[in-house]
Every structure is written in C-alpha cells, then in structure tokens.
Structure 1
Amino acid sequence: MQLKASAPASLMLLGEFGVLHNKLALVCAVDKRIHVSLTARSDAAIHIHSALGNYSSKLTKLSVEKPFQFVLAAIKTYQARYKTGFDLTIESEFSSTIGLGSSAAVTVATLAALVTSLNIKMTPLDLVRQARHVIRQVQGTGSGADAAAAVYGGMVAYQSQPLFAEKLPAIHPLSVLYSGHKTPTVEVIKIVRERYRTHSDLFQSVLHCIGKCAEDGIKYARRKDWVKLGEVMNVQQGMMESLGVSTPLLYHMVMDLRKQPKIVGAKISGSGLGDCVIGLGEMQLDYKNANSAVQPVLVQMSPQGVQCEKS
C-alpha cells in the first residue's frame, strides 16, 4: 500500500503575535506544497528520505531529532497503532529557509498520511488541533495558524483559543519579497517578550490593536473589499514596528511594495526580524531591489488545502 499526501505552504496576512494571545488572525495557503509518500513495510523499520537527509530506526525506538523533528513527533503520536513500519519520502516545492510555514505543511501532510493509513476519520479542525499539538511539542510554542492554512487552503480566519477556523470564499493576488535571511520565530517571540517585560500594559494595547486589525481584515476579506483590507495591512505594519520586529531593510521593502501601482497594502508577514514582506496585489515583473539579497518569492494564494490519496 502507498499513500500520497500533500499540504500547502502558507503566509500570515494579519494577526501576528496577537494570535499567540488568543486574538484573531488571517492566514492564507499558497501554491507551493510539501509532498509525503507513505509506503507500508512488512518489517518494523521506519525509513525517512528527503533532500535534507535520511533517517532509519525501528518503530519501537523512534527518537525525535533534526531535521525530521516535526515528522517524527507526528509519527510518535500514532506509533502504538502500527504493527509494522513504513517508508516515508518527503519532497518540497520550496526551501525551508524561507518562512512559508514549512514546519506546519510537513506536519499536516505527515499526519494526513498517517491517519489515512490507519483508517482514522478526522475533521479538518481536529487535524489542525493535532498538528498544532505536534508543533508545540517540538518548538514549545505555536498558534496553529499556519497549520489551519495548510489544512483548509485559501484564506482562513483563525483563532487559537477557543479553537476556530473558517475558510473564506475568496483569494486575491499577492506579492512576496524575501529579505535574504530568517530569524527563527521562537527567538523573535523571546526578543519581543523581553522588550516589553516592564511595559505589559503597552504590550497588551499593541496586541489588542493587532487583534482588531485581524478582525476588521477578516470582515473586509469576506466582502472582497481589497482596498480596505490593504489599508488594514498598512495599519498593522505600524504595530509590527512598535513591537520592534521591523528592520531598516524590511521597512524599505514594505515601502517599495506600497509604491507599486497595483498593490493596495503591504506589511511584514510572520514574526519579522528578517523573512518576508507581503503586498496585497500584483508586483511589476521587472522589480529589482537595491539590496541583492532581496528576492521576489513567486507564490500566489491557493484554494487547495491538504490532500491525501491511496494508490
């Protein structure tokens, strides 16, 4: 028996940091995917193959280790249900160094393959919940917003607690620029927490504003009022700067996008201090940044969420 599962990469549109404090967020899936193939074995071995390396172990002796920590943590969730092992082959259409939610995508795709192979019925929201649990096991924190995008596809309104996810009935052109480096999200969260350690009231006020941006943005996305959504993205960029997660380079990248005639709003996407900025609308094809490290990322929103099929 062979199973093939895949899940999309994702981008945060609105709600970064606020979503970690149970505020709403707006996230979207994009048209780059991670593919996982599961092939049953007759012995008790687990073999993982990918461009990042290989891993082999007996089913009963699995240990969660890099670079397959999310995959192995997902497997351990169902380890006791397997009597024999399997081969897992992972292929990605994008680099894990660019912040497109690769951890969530590979976690969701792996879990989808596992539950399908075990004939377990699972709702989309339960799959989000389980993927979020795996991500938190591995890295200690995580809202689950990128997992929701990977499960549902398209634009997704999301809240971590109480857990809520709604796929919105629209997508829109996007422009994405990568800054040339990425600071791990967990590190950025620590930096922000330390920055506001003695200013907790101010921090809560900023989080409230970010949550309100996401709430309004979801409303405008439902209405397909893209100009208003872009305006809200511009407002949240100011909140990101207040949190200290912008840099001179990211600021100039955002300003570059806002100058583009078809882009109605632009901001940092994700935790900041590097990584990506996004613009709502299409960028001119001949865009060049003065900093050679800055590169366009050729992705668009995609309505396709997780998929799994037996072959």
Structure 2
Amino acid sequence: MITEKAPGKLYIAGEYAVVENGFPAVLVALNQFVSCTIEASTNGVGQIISHQYQNNAVQWHRQGDQMVVDKRDNPFSYILSAIQVTEEYARTLNKQLAVYDLHIDSELDSASGKKYGLGSSAAVTVATVKALCRFYNLPVDNDKIFKLAAIAHFSVQGNGSLGDVAASVYGGWIAYHSFDRQWLAEQRKFLDLTTLLSLPWPNLKIESLSAPANLALVIGWTGKPASTSQLVDKISLFKAREQDKYHQFLNASRECIQRMVEGFHEGNLNTIKQEIRYNRSLLQQLGERSGVQIETPVLKQLCQIAEKFGGAAKTSGAGGGDCGIVAIDGHADLNAMIEEWTKQHIEHLPLSVHFINNIHRYTINLK
C-alpha cells in the first residue's frame, strides 16, 4: 500500500494576470491535504473511491494497456487524467501496468461538504501523480511531478495558469511565472512524455520565497464558493473587447509582483503589505471595467476589518466568493480581528504554511 499527499493552496497576489504566458503570481501552500492511497487489486478489477463521494465509487479494468471505466459520469475527471498521463509516462519507460484500488481523501473541503477554494482539483491531481510514480517506481523529481500534474490538470480544465499545481508540488511560499500552454498543447501532439518532461518549458519559472519572521498569514472564508473557470472565462471576454486596458492591468500586476518578491527577499513586511493593497486595487479596477464581481461585499468587509488592525488584505484567487487573505504583523491583535469577522459571518480558517522537505529557498528556471 502506497500513500502520498499534496497540500492545498491560496493565491496571495497576481491573480488573472498569471494566466498570461510568463506573468507572475505569489502563492502559498497550506497544511490541509489531499491524500491518495494505492493498493494492488487481487481480482483483476480496480476501484477509485473517495471519502467525499462514497456513493460514486468507480470500478475499472484493463483492456491491454487501456483503463476501461465502467461509469461514464463520475466526479473523478482530474484523477482519471492524472492516471492516464502518469501511466503514459510509465509505458514510455517499459513499465508493466497493473490493476489497483485507488482511495482519495481530502481535507480541503469541510466535513459538511463546504468548498473553501483551496485548490482541491490541483491537489488531487498532484497526489495521484505522486502515488502512481511511487507505485510504478518511476524516476521523478519535483520538476517532473509538476510537469506530469500540469499536463493532466490542463487537459481537463483547459484554462488557468497551473500555479495551484506548482504550490501543491513545491510547497511553502512561491513566486510562479506561468508557461506557454499553447506550446504544451502543440508539443503533446508530437513528443513522447519522456522527451516532453526533459525539455525546458517556455517562460516557466518557480522560485521559493522566505517570508519575514513577523509575517502572519490569516485566512477568512466568505461562505460562498466560486467557480474559477467561469470567472476567468468572463475576464477573457473583457480582454478581447478592451485590449489596451487589459494590457495596462497586466503590466501593472507584473510590476507589483516584482516589488512584492523583492519584499520577500529583503524580509520587509511593509513592502509586501503595500503591494498586496496595490494588487487589491488593480483587481477592483479590473472587476469594475469588466463587469465581473471579483470582490464581493463580504470580501470587502473582510478586507476593511483587517485594515482596522493594520493588516493588508485582498481576495484570493478568482474572487467572486471563496477566501480572502491578510498579511499582518504577528504581534497584532489577531483574535480581536477574527472575532469581528465572526460577527459578520466570515469564517476564520486556522491554516498555516506547509513546507515540503523543509526547503525554504530554491529557484527553478524551467525556461
């Protein structure tokens, strides 16, 4: 039996701009996880089981090297894509494919099924890829795991930056520059996975960041889930209509993230807070110009309360609901801030940053 896990994530800044090739964002991995356990089947029939979808267990069998799934409609599209991509890689290495049971368990949603927007689709993809790589004893490092999971996730979602996948693979605080997904789609048609994984991917850069010692990250949930894909699609319409204004937003966002990353390098909480506030204003302006409600009234309230206590706050991710984040000095009266949130029906999520292998600083240039 093999078990692997992958953490959830939140965006700190750079949302929407990061979906464009080479544009940066800052993300953080959190100490809530999706776990994937694999065990060889003894009867030639495998199962995919999730504790969150107990009524939707999927049975499958092999037909040659192909996985044949018995139920067409199932909630496991990211898992199935991760299996397909990882087993494709295994075949290029002449591995004998097996039949197995795969169990998924997620901490990223609440026990009652509330979705917090912590990147569960990315985490389940990463956890499945990691578990299968161990199951088949495939030669991988974090770079290859990221690329396998990015291919699997992108083939299902079709948009997005894959920054959430990077956070789930590398952990901690990261600065992420998105790669050219059109290039990836073209190369997939011609190259085997072993070659594709060994190539540099255009514009891709992932850098680990060390946070200042006095930075406390506080997370609030609005009680309203949001669909990232739908919101990104709506912003794409604005991009098509208002190209000049959209490019102004992109350039301002890039400069903001560059200054914020310098703040991390210098251990300067004030710089980080200043750029979080500026990034919030950029997203508010983008929402107003595009007609997309990125900052909902509850998210605005979350931010206003945080500012009263000296915190810099903004939406996290696509907005429209889900979470807000606060960067604040750890010596501030955090309990009083959280009490005010609670009065406004904003739920504090008591999460902390998750580091992988205790590596706090590294730079991976995959371009």
Mark yes or no: TM-score above 0.5.
Answer: yes
Which amino acid in the other structure matches residue 102 of structure 2? L
CA distance in structure 1 between the aligned counterparts of 2:150 and 2:162, rounded to whole angstroms: 5
Q: What is the count of residue pairs matched by the alignment?
A: 303
CA distance in structure 2 between the aligned counterparts of 1:66 and 1:230, rounded to whole angstroms: 42
Within the alignment, does 1:7 sit opposite 2:6 as a pair?
A: yes
What residue number does 1:205 align with? 248
Structure having greater relative contact order (Cα 8 Å, sep ≥ 6): 1
**TM value normalised by structure 2:** 0.77
Task: State the shift of 1:169 in Å.
Answer: 3.2
**TM value normalised by structure 1:** 0.90
What residue number does 1:50 align with? 50
Rg larger in structure: 2
Secondary structure of 2:161's match? Answer: coil
Structure 2: unaligned runs, 5 residues or longer: 180-202, 288-293, 359-367
CA distance in structure 2 between the aligned counterparts of 1:211 and 1:253, rounded to whole angstroms: 25
What residue number does 1:248 align with? 297
Task: State the shift of 1:43 in Å.
Answer: 4.1
Q: Calculate the aligned-residue CA RMSD, in Å.
A: 2.1
CA distance in structure 2 between the aligned counterparts of 1:305 and 1:18, rounded to whole angstroms: 30
CA distance in structure 2 between the aligned counterparts of 1:49 and 1:185, rounded to whole angstroms: 25
CA distance in structure 2 between the aligned counterparts of 1:119 and 1:64, rounded to whole angstroms: 30
Alignment of 1:1-150 (within 5 A): 2-21=1-20, 22-53=22-53, 54-59=57-62, 60-62=67-69, 65-79=73-87, 81=91, 82-95=96-109, 97-150=115-168
Q: Verify the 8 A CA contact 1:29 1:305 in the aligned structure 2.
A: no
Within the alignment, does 1:277 sit opposite 2:276 as a pair?
A: no
Which amino acid in the other structure matches residue 226 of structure 1? L
Secondary structure of 2:233's match? Answer: helix
CA distance in structure 1 between the aligned counterparts of 2:342 and 2:27, rounded to whole angstroms: 29
CA distance in structure 1 between the aligned counterparts of 2:74 and 2:13, rounded to whole angstroms: 30
Secondary structure of 2:3's match? Answer: strand
Question: What are the Cα deviations for residues 98-139 of structure 1, in whole angstroms up to 9, with x where unaligned?
Answer: 111111111111100111111111221222122121111111
CA distance in structure 2 between the aligned counterparts of 1:79 and 1:196, rounded to whole angstroms: 37
Task: State the shift of 1:185 in Å.
Answer: 0.6
CA distance in structure 1 between the aligned counterparts of 2:297 and 2:158, rounded to whole angstroms: 30
Structure 1: unaligned runs, 5 residues or longer: 307-311
Task: State the shift of 1:293 in Å.
Answer: 4.2
Task: State the shift of 1:290 in Å.
Answer: 7.1
Task: State the shift of 1:241 in Å.
Answer: 0.6
Within the alignment, does 1:266 sit opposite 2:316 as a pair?
A: no
Which amino acid in the other structure matches residue 222 of structure 2? S
Q: Verify the 8 A CA contact 1:19 1:143 in the aligned structure 2.
A: yes
Which amino acid in the other structure matches residue 257 of structure 2? A
CA distance in structure 2 between the aligned counterparts of 1:64 and 1:293, rounded to whole angstroms: 39
